[in-house]
Amino acid sequence: MHQLTLAEIARGLADKKFSSEELTKVLLARIAQLDPQLNSFISLTEDLALSQAKAADVRRANGESGALLGAPIAHKDLFCTQGIRTSCGSKMLDNFKAPYDATVVAKLAAAGAVTLGKTNMDEFAMGSANESSYYGAVKNPWNLEHVPGGSSGGSAAAVAARLLPAATATDTGGSIRQPAAFTNLTGLKPTYGRVSRWGMIAYASSLDQGGPLARTAEDCAILLQGMAGFDPKDSTSIDEPVPDYSAGLNGSLQGLRIGLPKEYFGAGLDPRIAELVHNSVKELEKLGAVVKGISLPNMQHAIPAYYVIAPAEASSNLSRFDGVRFGYRCENPKDLTDLYKRSRGEGFGPEVQRRIMVGAYALSAGYYDAYYLKAQKIRRLVKNDFMAAFNEVDIILGPTTPNPAWKLGAKNNDPVAEYLEDVYTITANLAGLPGLSMPAGFVDGLPVGVQLLAPYFQEGRLLNVAHQYQLNTDWHTRTPTGF
């Protein structure tokens, strides 16, 4: 039963082949048995899951239907869940029980989704390897010596290992797409403003966006449907109608114009990944797509700009964790300054402290123009590049990551080396565009992802292209050995 996708689960529940309660028990047992190898969960919510499953079964018995009614999922542990620990992967929030549900959590619960638990993540979503979590590193089910990607590594590892069919995640610079690529999943970062950020603990507010991680585009469509929509509680939420994503999956790709940016295939890209990306292009051409070379000339400036803007916003967002109002507080503070200093020094891990320092520096008088303002100008240039490209093509295609998942610990002493791995994903966040990563093959037994980018609010186009690709390829169906 654990092999079923969300779409298959919805059919099985509708056909009364099994109940949500039965399925939930099977998956909870599987998590108890297998997750010790992966460390993909920070908290399990067995009691909540069983009561939600029973309630969903009653709703179905009363004639209700819906693709998420009775579907088991988990939430990345930065979505606030009322009365349940919401740690953000940090010692700072180890004791924090959220007083309310995030909009995403509330919407999915209302649609009848069953919450199995909260998944592991890089501390405050800062990282690309899921090694900065206070709760320990997450392992990649494809090779337990390798990282699963980050920051949504727990959601990715759990779904890839078939502990559950799908999970929520967030993407500030690639944290949905990159772990999807590293674990053979499909992951979608929606347009900025498509999914409410209310109750999502902020890392870099102008870049953060929640989205689905699942095995197939079809399942991402189902989960995104439950997450997306205008939310008056989030001032950056956009009041734009939400299309029926599942209904949009069967569009023809005849004449679809795919742009291949020449900057995506230069130095730094593993040539074996380049080959798999080109194979995926050939598949899409067979389905009627036409390929065009394009250029995104400012891409080379995106990493330095992102690693100024994201830490700047983080340094501001994380100032609320002061040891006074909630979260970790140091023992026996001498005075208020000591309370602030030690609570933050003891509560935040090294990567979070590094980002706060970088961000505070970039924002300080005398440096603001040179770093923060400059980075914002680059951000606009990156966006302009995309706008020009989308005058010529319908989607942009390239690798999700320059390399496959690296070994645990391999980049621990070199944060910049880890930052550079985000080269293909961060531009979509800087521009606010939607992006999807889909499985496209393997290198040394490790999964490789292809990234698709589309114009604003064209999540449906991305899902349609990925679904058509998945109807004609079987990479996404491969299961890691031992799971």
- For ligand GLN, the closer of residues 131 and 459 by Cβ is 131
Per DSSP, the residues of 305-319 read HHHHHHHHHHHHHGG
Question: Residues interacting with ligand GLN, by CB under 6 A?
Answer: 125-128, 151, 171-175, 203, 310, 422
**Residue spans of alpha helices (H) in 2-138:** 6-14, 20-38, 46-61, 103-110
How far from 45 is each of 28, 52, 211, 213, 277, CA to CA, in Å? 9, 11, 21, 19, 39
151 is catalytic: yes
Provide the minimum distance between the beta carbon of 171 and ligand GLN in the complex, in angstroms, as a whole number. 5
- For ligand GLN, the closer of residues 179 and 455 by Cβ is 179
* Annotated catalytic residue within 128, 151, 196, 343: 151
How far from 241 is each of 187, 214, 385, 390, 457, CA to CA, in Å? 22, 23, 27, 22, 10
Provide the minimum distance between the beta carbon of 422 and ligand GLN in the complex, in angstroms, as a whole number. 5
Q: What DSSP state is assigned to residue 249? A: G
* Annotated catalytic residue within 90, 128, 175, 315: 175
CA–CA gap between residue 305 and residue 299 (Å, rounded)? 10
- For ligand GLN, the closer of residues 103 and 128 by Cβ is 128
- For ligand GLN, the closer of residues 96 and 124 by Cβ is 124
295 is catalytic: no
Provide the minimum distance between the beta carbon of 122 and ligand GLN in the complex, in angstroms, as a whole number. 7
Provide the minimum distance between the beta carbon of 180 and ligand GLN in the complex, in angstroms, as a whole number. 12
Q: Which residue pairs from 225-228 have beta carbons closer than 8 angstroms and sit at least 24 positions apart in sequence?
A: 225/67, 225/68, 226/68, 226/107, 226/108, 226/111, 226/113, 227/104, 227/107, 227/108, 227/168, 227/190, 227/195, 228/190, 228/194, 228/195, 228/459
CA–CA gap between residue 154 and residue 156 (Å, rounded)? 5
Which amino acid, residue 243? P
CA atoms within 13 A on the CB side of 14: 11
- For ligand GLN, the closer of residues 88 and 310 by Cβ is 310
Provide the minimum distance between the beta carbon of 429 and ligand GLN in the complex, in angstroms, as a whole number. 7
Provide the minimum distance between the beta carbon of 363 and ligand GLN in the complex, in angstroms, as a whole number. 17
- For ligand GLN, the closer of residues 343 and 427 by Cβ is 427
Active site residues: 76, 151, 175
